[in-house]
Structure 1
Amino acid sequence: MGKVKDILDFKGNAVYHVAPDVTVYHAIEVMCEKNIGGLVIIENGKMVGIFTERDYARKLILKGRSSKDTQIRDLMTTKVFTVTPDTSIEQCMRMMSDKKFRHLPVEENGELVGVISISDVVRMVINEQKSIIEHLEQYIAGQ
């Protein structure tokens, strides 16, 4: 099975982020503009959290807060799990499933080098399965 670096090679290393003092409204605007479901929160050059659509729904909407009056720091998830480019796709799937989250920042030598999502992982698994099926079909046809 592939590794995180294979996903990053395919999708690129773009990391969309905001500061913890921006409003939730601004963060949602960025997420909408970039068509993504989560943002890394960066303060003084360091990752201090992650903010996702799930945080928005559970920590803002359900608690009756206003997105224009609430800062990201009040809602972001601060316990962020990360992976490296050499982490296997299988390990990512297990971590995402066990911990129930959909975004994984990728760090290498203490530097943030990308973010992968569950859809990136699923796409990789599907592509790998297609490749295996094609090889098996070729093998069977060659018999």
Structure 2
Amino acid sequence: MSLDAVSISRLMSKNVIIAEQNQNVYWICKLLSQNNVGCLIVVNDLDEKKPVGIVTESDIVKTIGKLDLHQLQVPIKNHMSHPVITMPVSGTVTDAMRIMCEKRVRRIVIIENDKMVGIVTDKDLLKFMIDNKDVLSEFMTLSPRENMPKEDSSHFWFCNRYVG
């Protein structure tokens, strides 16, 4: 099995926690906590589900560190990361790895007809490779890339070992 042959739809999580962009920081914190997730996707509205941003735990920590307590009521659209990085549901694992490397992100929203249908993370990709020894073996035999920063493990794995 080759990474080029594996559809990203096979790995993506379809149960994505979403919020509208006018929800406040406090509400977003509650959603992340109640659902035990590290990120949520901000959409234009709950029916259309067009992704307009992403909020990660890191975004929340940075935001709260800058705000006074009474400011937790400000809309999340003022603090989300945007534009959200997306790829089509027809993409492959290789495509996802390349995008993560080039954009230096750990999460990609999967879309179909401009509508969010899932999310894939660096952990999803790593778990897939570990669960599929033939893919992991192919991945590990490739030569590392030169001149690539090694700040975080996913960037090292995906950029230095495979994508390029």
Please give the TM-score of this superposition, normalised by the length of structure 2: 0.68
1:95 aligns with 2:99: yes
Q: Could you say which residue in structure 2 is the equivalent of 1:114?
A: 118
Cα distance, 1:128–1:73 mapped onto 2, change above 3 Å: same
Q: Could you say which residue in structure 1 is the equivalent of 2:161?
A: none
State the distance in 1 between where 2:15 and 2:23 align.
20
Aligned residue for 1:56, secondary structure, equals: helix
State the distance in 2 between where 1:103 and 1:84 align.
14
State the distance in 1 between where 2:84 and 2:23 align.
19
State the distance in 2 between where 1:86 and 1:126 align.
23
Q: Could you say which residue in structure 2 is the equivalent of 1:86?
A: 90
For structure 1, the 5+ residue unaligned runs are: 134-143
Q: Could you say which residue in structure 1 is the equivalent of 2:64?
A: 61
1:50 aligns with 2:51: no
Which of the numbers 72, 76, 80 marks the counterpart of 1:72? 76
Aligned residue for 1:48, secondary structure, equals: strand
Q: Using the TM superposition, give the Cα deviation of residue 113 of structure 1 relative to its aligned residue in structure 2, in angstroms.
A: 0.8
Q: Using the TM superposition, give the Cα deviation of residue 106 of structure 1 relative to its aligned residue in structure 2, in angstroms.
A: 0.5
Aligned residues with identical type, % of pairs? 23
Cα distance, 1:65–1:96 mapped onto 2, change above 3 Å: farther
Residue by residue, what CA displacement relative to the aligned partner does 1:42-81 show, whole Å, maximum 9, x if unpaired? 12323221111122233x1342444623320110122111
State the distance in 1 between where 2:134 and 2:68 align.
45
For structure 2, the 5+ residue unaligned runs are: 138-164
Deviates more, 1:37-46 or 1:14-23: 37-46
Please give the TM-score of this superposition, normalised by the length of structure 1: 0.77
